[in-house]
Amino acid sequence: MGIDQNFLGRIRVVLIRTTEAGNIGSAARAMKTMGLSRLVLVEPAEFPSAKATARASGADDVLADAMIVESLEQALEGCDLIMGTSARLRDLPWPLLGPREGAQKAWDHRQMQGDVAVVFGCENSGMTNKEMDHCHFQIHIPANSHYSSLNLAASVQIIAYEMRMVQMLAAGEVVEQSEEILATRDEMQHFYDHFFNIMQQVGYYRPQQPKLLRRRVMRLFNRSMMTHPEVQIMRGILSMIDNKLNEN
Amino acid sequence: MGIDQNFLGRIRVVLIRTTEAGNIGSAARAMKTMGLSRLVLVEPAEFPSAKATARASGADDVLADAMIVESLEQALEGCDLIMGTSARLRDLPWPLLGPREGAQKAWDHRQMQGDVAVVFGCENSGMTNKEMDHCHFQIHIPANSHYSSLNLAASVQIIAYEMRMVQMLAAGEVVEQSEEILATRDEMQHFYDHFFNIMQQVGYYRPQQPKLLRRRVMRLFNRSMMTHPEVQIMRGILSMIDNKLNEN
């Protein structure tokens, strides 16, 4: 099928605080069946584990290569496109995609330098709002509203399947993207720091909900997937405001 | 959600000679998450089983309603469209569909009187040629050719997911966004006027290409389809900057 291994090879599956080691093994198996290989574990409760290896059933190379980190931030280093899976709809609604649209989004950005991350929360509570704040998009698997209890590996299976499908469907088809380079995560972080710094200098905050306000601003900019030149423009404007505010 | 329950309610998942009872439970769970409910077991090695119930994790109603039969023929009674899943390509090539095409096929036949069956062979050996002979089509999940070892429940999950997706797509409801109200064109215009006014006050412009800069800023914000509350936040920030700049 002339599959571009590079696309699937740049997709990270990030599992946060997985409690059951068996689920990590099943997730590795689900990934490998679809050609994914990069597993990142944030504070797993138990890993390595015989249970994980047993469930991986031949996908133990994925487990052996798994990266273990202490924070989501570390897990996402070098990622330009970050999508968090969650069944829950948020108080502050996040830009929402289905699994197919999420895979399309990843495919559309395959010329980017950085990796793509798909993040899965822990089995019982899913992703927290704070974790979701790192994400450009929320992926929502359209499950039965009366019983949406997909297990972790099943969710990974569906996402991995759609990633593989989007690549297969596109295979053979020439898509010319003359996109500008997207901003890196670091650039975005510095931009936000700068932005919130100015907000503070001019006294714009709502004491009763300062965090919500930050999240709203981040959501707005995350949603548009800022390019490198756009961040430069915004940083330039912020610097000029900064200078003007601190004149004399 | 306006989903036509009838379509999913007429899809039978037929498991032949499943050896691990736990897999039956996981399959039931996978089915229920996607709104499928009709499980048919052909000569299961062990059923009912505590292991199956444990793995079903809330989908025990699907297990309780499962039909247990002694032959594939019995399992398929009343079915007009029968699809067998298999990773193996046959000596005698069977009409081959991907999971998405299989779901489309089922959808195209939703006006039929009979049910649709999707058949899964036993864990180790899959479907025999004789079993495949009952099927109109073979569904082939496009797995990694170097590791195509999907477990039974994972295969059921993908098929069930595609069945649900074809129905949702047909109903025109892929992802429901609980969106806030979008900003009006007027609001956006005032926001841009305000934004460019601040840019001018702080002296940020590139004389050689002032228009391009404006367009870039507008493109950035337009792309994210700002909501009414987001514009209010940005206007609030701009006003505070404005005030601060003009304080003496």
Q: B94 and B70 in contact (C-beta within 8 Å)? A: no
CATH value at residue A215:
1.10.8.590
Give the closest of B157, B216, B241 to A158, CB-based. Answer: B157
| Mean pLDDT confidence for B202-208 | 75
Predicted TM-score of the model (pTM)? 0.75
Tell me the CA distances in angstroms from A164 to A186, A189, B11, B168, one per residue in order.
29, 31, 25, 21
d(C-alpha B157, C-alpha B223), whole Å: 35
* 3-22 of A, contacting B, C-beta below 8 A: none
What is the pairing mode between strands A96-97 and A67-69? unpaired
State whether B196 and B80 are in the same domain. no
Nearest-neighbour CA in chain B from A5: distance (Å) = 11
* 208-227 of B, contacting A, C-beta below 8 A: 213, 216-217, 220-221, 223-226
- Whether residues A89 and B224 touch (CB distance < 8 A) is answered with no
Query: What would the pLDDT profile of A133-154 be if each residue is shown by its tens digit?
Result: 899 999 999 999 889 889 999 9
Q: Check whether B57 has a pLDDT greater than 70.
A: yes
Check if B248 contacts A (Cβ < 8 Å): no
State whether B190 and B165 are in the same domain. no
Q: Does the residue B139 lie in any domain?
A: yes
Q: Check whether A173 has a pLDDT greater than 60.
A: no
Position A177 scores a pLDDT of 37
Which residues lie across from B41 on neighbouring strands? B15, B68
Check if A87 contacts B (Cβ < 8 Å): no
Q: B215 and B195 in contact (C-beta within 8 Å)? A: no
Query: What would the pLDDT profile of A210-242 be if each residue is shown by its tens digit?
Result: 778 888 898 889 877 788 889 999 999 999 999
Give B-chain residues touching A153 at CB under 8 angstroms: 154
Position A5 scores a pLDDT of 52
Q: Does the residue B208 lie in any domain?
A: yes
Band of pLDDT at residue A76, cut at 50, 70 and 90: very high
CATH value at residue B149:
3.40.1280.10
Query: What would the pLDDT profile of A36-70 be if each residue is shown by its tens digit?
Result: 999 999 999 999 999 999 999 999 999 999 999 99
Percent of chain A with pLDDT over 70: 92
Band of pLDDT at residue B180, cut at 50, 70 and 90: low
- Whether residues A150 and B198 touch (CB distance < 8 A) is answered with no
Nearest-neighbour CA in chain B from A132: distance (Å) = 17
- Whether residues A233 and B217 touch (CB distance < 8 A) is answered with yes
* 144-183 of A, contacting B, C-beta below 8 A: 144-145, 147-151, 153-154, 157-158, 161, 164-165, 168
Band of pLDDT at residue A122, cut at 50, 70 and 90: very high
- Whether residues B143 and A33 touch (CB distance < 8 A) is answered with yes
Give the least confident one: A139-153, B61-75, B153-167, B207-221.
B207-221
Domain closes at, from B138, B170, B202: B170
Domain closes at, from A110, A144, A170: A170
What tokens appear for B202 in the block? 């702080």
Q: Does the residue B179 lie in any domain?
A: no
State whether A146 and A197 are in the same domain. no
Q: Does the residue B125 lie in any domain?
A: yes
Please provide the average confidence, as pLDDT, over all residues in chain B. Answer: 88
State whether A229 and A149 are in the same domain. no
| Mean pLDDT confidence for B209-227 | 79
Position A223 scores a pLDDT of 77
Q: Tell me, what amino acid is at A35? A: G
Residue of chain B with shortest Cα separation from A157: B154
Which domain covers residue B154, as residue numbers? Answer: 5-170
Check if B246 contacts A (Cβ < 8 Å): no
- Whether residues B224 and A229 touch (CB distance < 8 A) is answered with no
Give A-chain residues touching B203 at CB under 8 angstroms: 240, 244
Band of pLDDT at residue B91, cut at 50, 70 and 90: low
Percent of chain A with pLDDT over 90: 64
| Mean pLDDT confidence for A7-14 | 96
Find which of A57-66, A108-117, B89-98, B197-206 is predicted with most confidence, using mean pLDDT: A57-66
What is the sign, positive or negative, of the torsion defined by CA atoms of A25, A31, A34, A38?
negative
Q: At CA B129, angle to CA B125 and CA B134, rounded to 5?
A: 115
Q: Check whether B206 has a pLDDT greater than 80.
A: no
Q: Does the residue B31 lie in any domain?
A: yes
DSSP string for B175-208: ----PPPBPPHHHHHHHHHHHHHHHHHTT---TT
Which residues lie across from B39 on neighbouring strands? B13
State whether A18 and A104 are in the same domain. yes
Give the least confident one: A5-14, A208-217, B189-198, B225-234.
A208-217
Q: Does the residue B178 lie in any domain?
A: no
Position B227 scores a pLDDT of 86
Q: Check whether B177 has a pLDDT greater than 50.
A: no
State whether A36 and A82 are in the same domain. yes
- Whether residues A148 and B33 touch (CB distance < 8 A) is answered with yes
Find which of A90-99, B23-32, B77-86, B212-221 is predicted with most confidence, using mean pLDDT: B23-32
State whether B11 and B90 are in the same domain. yes
d(C-alpha B168, C-alpha B145), whole Å: 30
CA A217 from centroid of its chain's CA atoms = 18
Q: Does the residue A57 lie in any domain?
A: yes
Please enumerate, as own/partner, the contacts of A192-199 that have beta carbons within 8 Å and a separation of 24 or more: A192/A217, A192/A218, A192/A221, A194/A235, A194/A238, A194/A239, A194/A242, A195/A234, A195/A238, A197/A242, A198/A238, A198/A241, A198/A242, A198/A245, A198/B237, A198/B241, A199/B237, A199/B240
**Residues 6+ positions from B95 with CB-CB distance below 8 Å:** B136, B137, B138
State whether B133 and B21 are in the same domain. yes
Helices (H), chain B: 5-9, 21-33, 50-56, 60-64, 72-75, 99-108, 129-132, 152-170, 185-201, 210-223, 228-245
- Whether residues A237 and B164 touch (CB distance < 8 A) is answered with no
What are the φ/ψ torsions at residue A113 (nearest 5 degrees)? -75, -45
Please provide the average confidence, as pLDDT, over all residues in chain A. Answer: 88
Reported as type and span, the H/E element at residue A16 is strand A11-16
State whether B117 and B77 are in the same domain. yes
Q: B90 and B153 in contact (C-beta within 8 Å)? A: no
Band of pLDDT at residue A102, cut at 50, 70 and 90: very high
Residue of chain A with shortest Cα separation from B214: A233
- Whether residues B175 and A140 touch (CB distance < 8 A) is answered with yes
Q: A16 and A121 in contact (C-beta within 8 Å)? A: yes
Percent of chain B with pLDDT over 90: 58
Nearest-neighbour CA in chain A from B73: distance (Å) = 30
Check if A230 contacts B (Cβ < 8 Å): yes
Residue of chain B with shortest Cα separation from A62: B147
d(C-alpha A213, C-alpha A196), whole Å: 10
Percent of chain B with pLDDT over 70: 90
State whether A240 and A146 are in the same domain. no
Give A-chain residues touching B149 at CB under 8 angstroms: 29, 33, 57-59
Position B179 scores a pLDDT of 53
User: What's the structural domain count of chain B?
Assistant: 2
State whether B197 and B163 are in the same domain. no
- Whether residues A26 and B151 touch (CB distance < 8 A) is answered with yes
Give the closest of A89, A154, A221 to B178, CB-based. Answer: A89
State whether B45 and B101 are in the same domain. yes
d(C-alpha B136, C-alpha B168), whole Å: 25
Residue of chain B with shortest Cα separation from A161: B158
What are the φ/ψ torsions at residue B35 (nearest 5 degrees)? 90, 10
Tell me the CA distances in angstroms from A210 to A207, B212, B239, one per residue in order.
6, 34, 18
Position B241 scores a pLDDT of 94
Q: A167 and A4 in contact (C-beta within 8 Å)? A: yes
Give the least confident one: A162-166, A171-175, B48-52, B170-174.
A171-175
Q: Does the residue B222 lie in any domain?
A: yes
Domain closes at, from A170, A196, A230: A170
Give the closest of A89, A153, A224 to B220, CB-based. Answer: A224
Which residues lie across from A159 on neighbouring strands? none
Residue of chain B with shortest Cα separation from A145: B33
Nearest-neighbour CA in chain A from B159: distance (Å) = 10
Nearest-neighbour CA in chain A from B176: distance (Å) = 8
| Mean pLDDT confidence for B121-144 | 90
Q: Check whether A174 has a pLDDT greater than 50.
A: no
